[in-house]
Amino acid sequence: MEASAPEETGADADLPGPPRGNNELLGVADEDDQMEEFLGPQGEYNEEEEERKYYRRKRLGVIKNVVAASLGAMMVYSVYMAHVLQGLLQMQLILHYDTTYREVKYSSLGLEDIDRKMLMGINVTPIIGLLYTPVLIRFLGTKWMMFLASGIYALFVSTNYWERYYTLVPSAAAIGVAIVPFWASLGSYITRMAQQYYEYVHYREEHVQEQKKLPKGACHRYIVVFQSLFNGIFTLSFVFAEFPMRFVLNRHLNSNNHILHNVHTCGANVTGLIPGFNNTILYRLPSSMLLIQVESVLMGFAFLAMVIFLVLCGAAYRPTEEIDLRSIGWGNIFQLPFKHLRDYRLRLLCPFFIYSGFETLFAVTGFSLTFGVCVLGLDKLWLLVLVYGLSCSVFSSLSLSLLRFPRWLCLMAGAAVHGVLLVVLLALPFSPNQPQLLGPLLLISALWGLGSALNKTGVSTVLGMLYAEEKERLDFIYAIYHWWQAIAIFIVYLWSNLPMRAKLSILLATLLLASYCYWLMERRLARKVGFRLPRIPRPRHKVKGYRYLEEDNSDESDSERRGGGGGGRGRRRSPARGDGGRGWSGRAACRSPGSCLTCSAEEGGRDPPWPTG
């Protein structure tokens, strides 16, 4: 025993000894300080400053969304209008109009009447747009609806690589199907961005933090600014759509003396578009490789627009809001656009919706062809449309005056400009092939662009102001607006063979009716006449499975387990457990639940004091 003691002492000597003094605990103390510094409150962290920076980034993101949506729409319609302007194609229909081109390219394919069928597909199919537009927007979401519609426009461009009935006609019909959803989602998106911008500016307000309904008139100024910005960018599509005409087709056109040789009258005295217009407008045919190159450039811009919608445009609604929007039932979504027409504000704005479609198509077809091409020649068509587009873009900024003046000013000013111009066009005589009238016609085109800018921004802004606080109704409202515009497009398609004097008279009558109806609407609102809005059903979220039906409920609280509340949740048996779904303790279904004391006790969340076997 004594001999083993030294051995134990030697073994203990190999072990590390206890710390001596405070110096060996300094490393542990330093680690504690670092941990405290990492986990504790940061001295340099300013919560209010970080919150302010966060919402500033959010506001910049909203502006980015508006600019991206505007650029995407501008590119889509630049490509689209480079292909088709109602009544005359600037790329395809100008070429197809030429007899020589048609005989060389299409005589063996049997596509002589392809233009008429394409225009029919584009103009007729939007008539049923109100039936499916809200359902598509609610199902896909606003952003994805814009992306899908831009893809359909790109499909229309791609079919020109292989021109057949089974490619051109279905793609033209698809364009008609996509017109109303595309524009309804765009209008809803821009207005929704204005609402989001208000929320990010006033993020400290209680109604914003609790996601309640916005106060009346709270985001009107942002609606005015964003609609002006959108229309200013979008209407540049009229400018870029003329580039193929200016840089490609103009070099292949015959002289005006040849094209207008059999034309004897212009302006209001014309019936149809341009009677006597020569069928051979090309003195040489453009090469196929040149046309393929132009098509490829247009196709590239169409795909770029799709990428802009997909990558740069953010979501219009929160995920929970989108779920709520589509959870009201597809039957209700289908019916609600028609029920919104009970609102007298929308009914009285319908004439302006129709006139908005009339005046744009008149600018790019009726005026540009019957007055512009007939008087100046086909080589000046691009200049008339370009001046119109530039005028629309520049004068869209005039709608910013609504920040200080009443909202009726924009619409009424545009109506006054167009009213004067319609009277002038009805009164003045025009003769064919008069190049000296280039200045006056360019002035009329610029003034018509002024009226169009005030009209387009005015209608969109008024709609946004009237329904600014109703974010769950925006897609219905803008679907109605652009559906009426589609009806106007169809009417213009039908009246193509009417005398120009009749067309101008219809335009003037529609404008006067729209102005009167708008005045009547503002008068009723000033007198505080009530309007009918259909009730939006509450979202119905489906709960699937047998949650809360098993006896062992993991979500049951202690108070519920003791019988203190919760309605006996967790004690109910599943129908699959063999009791036939008879309730808590296997009792058969009661025949008089209204007067049964046992049922009353069970519904109150407590067990009855008597046996219930």
The domain ranges of the chain are 52-526
User: In the numeric block, which tokens belong to residue 104?
Assistant: 């060389």
**d(C-alpha 589, C-alpha 157), whole Å:** 66
Return the pLDDT at 377: 86
What are the start-end ranges of the E strands in 161-299?
none
pLDDT of 30 reads: 66
Q: How is residue 8 written in tokens?
A: 């134990």
Question: Percent of the chain, pLDDT > 90?
Answer: 39
Phi first, then psi: give them for residue 430, nearest 5 degrees.
-130, 145
DSSP 539: P
Q: Quick check: 417 pLDDT over 60?
A: yes
Cα-based distances in Å from 250 to 217, 256, 381, 586: 50, 12, 10, 88
Give the range among 376-385, 520-529, 536-545 with minimum mean pLDDT. Answer: 536-545
The pair of structure tokens assigned to 570 is: 């967790």
Token couple for 513: 């009716």
Return the ∠ at Cα 348 (arms to 346 and 352), rounded to 5°. 90
Q: Give the model confidence (pLDDT) of 290-325 as tens digits.
A: 878 888 898 999 999 999 999 999 988 888 777 777
Q: Does residue 123 have a pLDDT over 70? A: yes
pLDDT at 602: 46
**327 and 540 Cβ atoms separated by less than 8 Å:** yes
One-letter amino acid at 135 equals V
Average pLDDT over residues 165-175: 86
Which residues does 214 contact at the CB level (< 8 Å), separation at least 6? 195, 198, 199, 207, 468, 469
Task: Tell me the pTM.
Answer: 0.78
List for the chain the helix, strand, coil content (%; round to 5).
70, 0, 30
Q: Which pLDDT value is given to residue 32?
A: 67
Between CA 93 and CA 86 the distance in angstroms is 10
Using an 8 Å Cβ cutoff, are 430 and 437 in contact? Answer: yes
CA dihedral 396, 401, 403, 408 (to 10 degrees): -90
Give per-residue burial for 23-50: e unless 16+ CB within 10 Å, then b: eeeeeeeeeeeeeeeeeeeeeeeeeeee
Mean pLDDT, residues 376-405: 91
Tell me, which fold does domain 52-526 have in CATH?
Answer: Growth Hormone; Chain: A; (1.20.1250)
End-to-end CA distance of the chain: 78
Q: Specify the 3-state DSSP secondary structure of 266.
A: strand
Give residue 200's pLDDT. Answer: 92
**Four-point Cα dihedral 272, 278, 279, 284, nearest 10:** -140
* Max CA separation in the chain (angstroms): 139
- Out of 151-155, 156-160, 161-165, 555-559, which region has the weakest mean confidence (pLDDT)? 555-559
Supply the pLDDT for residue 57. 94
Query: Over the stretch 206-228, which tens digit does the pLDDT of each residue have?
Result: 888 877 888 888 889 999 999 99
Q: Average the pLDDT over 184-209 and give the result.
A: 90
- DSSP-assigned letter for residue 283: S
The candidate with the shortest Cα–Cα distance to 572, out of 594, 602, 550, 599, is: 550
The structure tokens 């190049």 sit at 435
Tell me which residue of 512, 465, 474, 518 sits closest to 348, measured CA to CA.
518
Q: Is 284 buried (19+), middle (13-18) or exposed (0-12) by CB count in 10 A? A: exposed
368 by DSSP, 3-state: which? helix
10 band by pLDDT with thresholds 50, 70 and 90: very low
> Which residues are registered as beta bridge partners of 253?
282
> What local confidence, expressed as pLDDT, does residue 386 receive?
93
Interatomic CA distance for residues 277 and 173, integer angstroms: 29
Position 250 confidence tier, pLDDT thresholds 50, 70, 90: confident
List Cβ neighbours of 313 (8 Å cut-off, separation of 6 or more): 65, 68, 69, 72, 143, 146, 147, 189
Query: By three-state DSSP, how is residue 194 classified?
Result: helix
Can you tell me the distance from the alpha carbon of 244 to that of 283, in angstroms, rounded to the nearest whole number?
Answer: 18
Among candidate residues 66, 47, 45, 44, the one with its CA nearest the CA of residue 55: 47
How many angstroms from the chain centroid is the CA of residue 469?
18
Mean pLDDT across the stretch 115-119? 78
- The whole-chain average pLDDT of the chain stands at 80
Residues of the chain with pLDDT > 70, as a percent, come to 76
Q: According to the model, what pLDDT value does residue 27 have? A: 57
For residue 317, the SS3 value is coil
Q: Report the Cα 579 to chain-centroid distance in Å.
A: 54
DSSP-assigned letters across all residues of 297-314: HHHHHHHHHHHIIIII--
- Dihedrals φ, ψ of 271, to 5°? -110, 125
